């Protein structure tokens, strides 16, 4: 077991479970993860392997005997009749029969309805009245000759969710973890392997939890298919509900004027709209209007009466085009249905999650480590809806007065949500608070910048803040850094994507960051943001390597397969730069892998053999002292390139996907955060040093 997993089990004994067990026990049961983890939490919340295996068998047996599959419903009903009483796991909804003045339950998979429910049960669990709740229930069968009497009797009903928890114990345990350990624990809790994510990507995943801990938080996430946008809202918590964006009505969401029944926002903490995008989707304008009012004021009207609710609203949908295409021809909201493509509605969005930064989910991204039983975490987050952490940055930072009240409120709600998730004890360093503040500002800025494209009456806003010394700091979105020549343009849709005007001409740049112009090579320092795309060895390093006949690469971490592949791709760049009648000598200084040294040498020998055929003389040496830490490239024509991460600049990607562009072309990969410095040296001195080794 890894050290973090040991620590998790020490401080949260009985409240965590190994995340790969969900797949082990699920089988073909179409049941939310929180239901499975509820059961796993009863029998497998331990790090003792023997107990885990016994618990898995128990949970599998419970599912086999009591989970109702739709295609086996008839058999289960027969078992209940024969045995007289039987326990089932099913999704149960309740309706009021006002003719008989009784509450009647309907079992989704079992296929029975009109089962009488005690009013006390409904009062204790009001969500049964809306959309249904997963429960463990005891059902009895008692036939009578009275045709108006239902033979099915509900003996007991227990919603599958945690009944109590120790919040103070949670806070005290949090103090035992570093910030990085805590982030990794949370990421494992939602099922992902933290080693496959950079810091920015981890925050992007955890942003999805804010609606569960922050009241009336309005979140939108648009991006490619397969990135897990809706998973959190459908399977993570018994307090969240995911509905199809095309199926909701005013009566279902807010209130039914015919019977006065409150809709979904009155019962659920989070209401998510799935498949929200699609320009041709038909949408009720009345729904959009009441939604706008609710998102702004936390209230909605029913005739002369105004009602309030606390449900956060989440909108997730797929995009068809790349970010660059959308910025050039329209905006980042272009996929929304016409009725929602409304500046007043969009202005109520607190945070826009850049779904295009989230990698498509792959098998190796799932965690086999320990994380919270999701129902426990869901209850913790729900309890924190009563707290407010929005002022925790104000001791060291001040938002610019140029930022409007609505923008400021959005930033505060996001910052507060992140604080609750990451620092529930309220203890945060200045640097950590600044990182959360910048992320919160960026998410709102993404909304506002696109609004200025849609509606030119919106004034330009400088999203800046002041630190304790009064220094002003500007926040930019990542796509603003990647595509500045498209980002600052206002698109005239009537002119089919041509430029109407420029919102900030002075800021428009013609080159992407990290791409050097060979005609004006200069000493410079570049900072690349995490998840930034468009960077490759060809454009970043190529111009500085062209023309060199001797190159030395010093990088202590050319050991593992992906690191060696990075080095091979650097050689590919050098090969494409030189002419066929030239030869280049390349020397690698690295360290020997303690466990796979022989494989490392074999890889280098293969590279040496293949390089000779294309005019590359490749040699290498292992640093015997084991003390090298510097990572740089030195050429015999005078350039020294300092790489703080060495060649390891790309986020993990699927190397075995032969038909994935991220596999074939570096510019389609997401980068890790790194810095690179180009220093001009005297070629004669450099050449002499290279000759001396």
Kindly report, residue by residue over 608-643, the tens digit of the pLDDT: 999 999 999 999 999 877 678 889 999 999 999 999
Bridging pattern class, strands 632-635 and 550-554: antiparallel
Q: Which residues pair with 107 in a beta bridge?
A: 92
Rg (CA), the chain: 29
pLDDT surpasses 60 at 527: yes
The share of the chain scoring above pLDDT 70, in percent, equals: 93
- The token pair that represents 445 in the structure block: 């800025």
Helix, strand, or coil here: 271? strand
Lowest mean pLDDT among 336-345, 546-555, 650-659: 650-659
What confidence category does residue 219 fall into, taking pLDDT thresholds of 50, 70 and 90? very high
CB 63 within 8 A of CB 35: no
For residue 525, pLDDT beyond 90: yes
Mean pLDDT, residues 223-241 taken together: 89
Cα–Cα distance between 214 and 264 in angstroms, integer?
Answer: 17
Structure tokens at 166: 């120790």
Mean pLDDT to the nearest integer, 262-267: 89
Instruction: Return the pLDDT at 246.
Output: 64
- The mean pLDDT of 640-661, rounded to a whole number, is 91
Contacts (Cβ under 8 Å, ≥6 apart) of 504: 460, 488
What are the distances in angstroms from CA 576 to CA 201, 545, 546, 563?
Answer: 33, 11, 9, 20
In the predicted structure, residue 343 carries a pLDDT above the cut 90: yes
Res 99: pLDDT: 86
Of residues 681 and 207, the one with the higher pLDDT is: 207
d(CA 572, CA 581): 16
Please report the pLDDT score of residue 500 as a whole number: 45
Q: Which range has the worst mean pLDDT, 260-264, 446-450, 533-537? A: 260-264
Q: Which fold has domain 176-379?
A: Rossmann fold (3.40.50)
- Which is more confidently placed, 221 or 511? 221
Alpha helices in 100-224 (DSSP H): 119-124, 167-174, 179-189, 199-207, 210-213
Banded pLDDT at 683 (limits 50, 70, 90):
confident
What is the pLDDT, as a whole number, of residue 146? Answer: 76
What's the whole-number mean pLDDT along residues 340-369? 93
CATH 2.40.50 domain locations along the chain: 70-159
Which whole number is the average pLDDT over 147-168? 83
Q: Is the pLDDT of residue 645 over 50?
A: yes
Contact 521, 543 (CB under 8 A): yes
The pLDDT mean for the chain works out to: 89
Nearest to 204 by CA among 216, 192, 215: 192
Buried b (16+ CB within 10 A) or exposed e, 269-304: bbbbbbbbbbeebebeeebbebbbbbbbeeebeeee
What pLDDT was estimated at residue 509?
36
At how many degrees (to 10) do helices 405-422 and 430-454 cross? 140
With 80 as the cut, is the pLDDT of residue 519 above it?
Answer: no
Rounded Cα distance, 113 and 108, in Å: 9
The DSSP H or E segment spanning 690 is helix 683-692
- pLDDT band, residue 510 (cuts 50/70/90): very low
Task: Report the pLDDT averaged over residues 154-167.
Answer: 83
Going by DSSP bridges, is the β-strand pair 270-274/524-528 parallel, antiparallel, or unpaired? unpaired
Select from 498, 474, 495 the least CA-distant residue to 486. Answer: 498
What are the φ/ψ torsions at residue 261 (nearest 5 degrees)?
-75, 125
**Model confidence band, residue 168 (pLDDT cutoffs 50, 70, 90):** very high
Which residue, chain included where needed, has tokens 């909605």? 300
Instruction: Name, of 36-45, 319-328, 502-511, the range with top average pLDDT.
Output: 319-328
Residue with tokens 């996001």: 414
Closest CA to 392 of 417, 366, 367: 417
Q: Which of the four pLDDT bands, split at 50, 70 and 90, describes residue 496?
A: very low
If you average pLDDT over residues 630-658, what whole number do you get? 92
- List every span in the chain annotated with CATH 3.40.50.300: 176-379
Q: What is the mean pLDDT of residues 229-246?
A: 86
Whether 11 contacts 17, CB under 8 Å: no
DSSP state of 48: -
Helix (H) or strand (E) holding 91: strand 85-97
- Token pair, residue 466, equals 């002041």
Positive/negative CA dihedral, 221, 385, 180, 676: positive
CA distance 173 to 608: 53
- List the end-to-end C-alpha distance of the chain, in Å, as a whole number: 44
Instruction: Report which DSSP code applies to 234.
Output: I
Tell me the CB-side half-sphere exposure of residue 634, using CA atoms within 13 A.
Answer: 21
Question: CATH 3.30.870.30 spans which residues of the chain?
Answer: 518-692
Fold of 70-159: OB fold (Dihydrolipoamide Acetyltransferase, E2P) (2.40.50)
pLDDT at 689: 65
pLDDT for res 517: 58
Residue 251: the pLDDT is 87
Q: Check pLDDT > 90 for residue 244.
A: no
| Contact between 227 and 235 (Cβ < 8 Å) | no
* % residues pLDDT > 90 (the chain): 63
pLDDT at 502 over 50: no
Q: How far apart are CA 588 and CA 604, in angstroms?
A: 10
Full-model pTM: 0.83
Fold observed for domain 518-692: Endonuclease; Chain A (3.30.870)
In this prediction, residue 498 carries a pLDDT of: 44
Above 60 in pLDDT, residue 512? no
How many CA atoms, within 13 angstroms, populate the side-chain half-sphere of residue 17?
30
Q: Is the pLDDT of residue 492 over 80?
A: no
The span from the CA of 462 to the CA of 484, in Å, is 16
Residue 83 has pLDDT above 60, yes or no: yes
Number of H helices, E strands in the chain: 26, 28
Highest mean pLDDT: which range of 262-266, 281-285, 447-451, 629-633: 447-451
- Are 156 and 87 in contact by the 8 Å Cβ rule? The answer is no
């Amino acid at each position: 077991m890894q050290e973090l997993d040991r620590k998790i089990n020490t401080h949260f004994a009985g409240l965590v479970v190994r995340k790969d067990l969900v797949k082990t026990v699920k089988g073909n049961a179409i049941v939310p993860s929180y239901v499975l983890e509820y059961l796993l939490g009863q029998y497998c919340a331990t790090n003792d392997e023997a107990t885990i295996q016994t618990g898995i068998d128990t949970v599998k047996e419970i599912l086999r005997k009591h989970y109702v599959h739709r295609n086996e419903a008839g058999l289960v009903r027969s078992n209940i009749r024969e045995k007289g009483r039987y326990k089932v796991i099913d999704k149960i909804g309740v309706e009021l029969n006002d003719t008989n003045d009784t509450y009647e339950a309907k079992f989704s998979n079992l296929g029975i309805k009109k089962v009488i429910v005690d009013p006390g049960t409904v009062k204790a669990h009001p969500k049964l009245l809306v959309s249904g709740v997963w429960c463990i229930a005891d059902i009895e069968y008692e036939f009578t000759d009275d045709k108006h009497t239902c033979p099915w009797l509900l003996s007991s009903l227990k919603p599958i969710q945690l009944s109590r928890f120790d919040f103070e114990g949670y806070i005290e345990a949090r103090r035992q973890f570093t910030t990085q350990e805590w982030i990794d624990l949370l990421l494992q809790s939602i099922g992902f392997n933290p080693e496959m994510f950079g810091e920015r990507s981890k925050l992007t995943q955890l942003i999805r939890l804010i609606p569960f801990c922050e009241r009336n938080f309005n979140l939108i996430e648009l991006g490619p298919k397969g990135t897990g946008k809706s998973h959190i809202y459908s399977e993570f918590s018994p307090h969240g509900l995911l509905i199809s964006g095309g199926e909701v009505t005013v009566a279902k969401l807010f209130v039914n004027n015919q019977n006065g029944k409150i809709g979904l926002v009155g019962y659920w903490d989070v209401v998510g709209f799935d498949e929200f995008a699609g320009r041709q989707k038909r949408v009720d304008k009345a729904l959009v209007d009441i939604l706008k009012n609710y998102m702004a004021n936390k209230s909605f009207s029913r005739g002369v009466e105004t009602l309030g609710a606390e449900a956060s609203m989440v909108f997730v949908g797929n995009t068809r085009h790349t970010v660059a295409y959308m910025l050039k021809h329209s905006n980042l909201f272009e996929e929304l249905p016409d009725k929602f493509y409304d500046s007043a509605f969009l202005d109520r969005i607190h945070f826009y999650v850049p779904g295009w930064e989230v990698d498509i989910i792959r098998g190796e991204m799932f965690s086999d480590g320990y994380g919270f039983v999701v129902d426990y975490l869901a209850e913790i987050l729900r309890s924190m809806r009563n707290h407010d952490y929005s002022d925790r940055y104000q001791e060291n930072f001040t938002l610019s007065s140029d930022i409007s009240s609505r923008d400021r409120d959005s930033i505060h709600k996001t910052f507060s949500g992140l604080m609750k998730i990451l620092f529930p004890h309220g203890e945060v360093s200045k640097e950590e608070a600044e990182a959360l503040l910048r992320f919160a500002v960026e998410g709102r800025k993404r909304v506002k910048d696109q609004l200025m494209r849609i509606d030119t009456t919106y004034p330009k806003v400088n999203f800046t803040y002041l630190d304790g010394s009064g220094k002003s700091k500007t926040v930019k979105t990542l796509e603003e850094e990647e595509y500045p020549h498209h980002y600052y343009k206002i698109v005239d849709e009537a002119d089919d994507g041509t430029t109407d005007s420029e919102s900030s001409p002075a800021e428009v740049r013609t080159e992407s960051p990290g791409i050097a112009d060979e005609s004006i090579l200069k000493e410079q320092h570049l900072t690349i943001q995490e998840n930034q795309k468009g960077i490759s060895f060809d454009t970043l390093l190529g111009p500085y390597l062209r023309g060199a006949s001797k190159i030395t690469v010093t990088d202590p971490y050319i050991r593992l397969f992906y690191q060696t592949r990075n080095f091979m791709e650097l050689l590919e760049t050098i090969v494409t730069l030189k002419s066929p009648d030239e030869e280049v000598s390349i020397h690698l200084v690295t360290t020997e892998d303690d466990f796979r040294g022989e494989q490392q040498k074999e890889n280098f020998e293969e590279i040496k053999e293949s390089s000779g055929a294309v005019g590359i003389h490749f040699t290498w040496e292992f640093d015997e002292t084991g003390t090298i830490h510097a990572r740089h490239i030195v050429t015999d024509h005078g350039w020294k390139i300092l790489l703080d991460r060495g060649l390891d600049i790309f986020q993990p990607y699927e190397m075995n996907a032969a038909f994935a562009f991220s596999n074939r072309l570096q510019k389609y990969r997401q980068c890790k955060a790194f810095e690179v410095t180009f220093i001009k040296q005297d070629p004669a001195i450099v050449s002499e040093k290279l000759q001396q080794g």
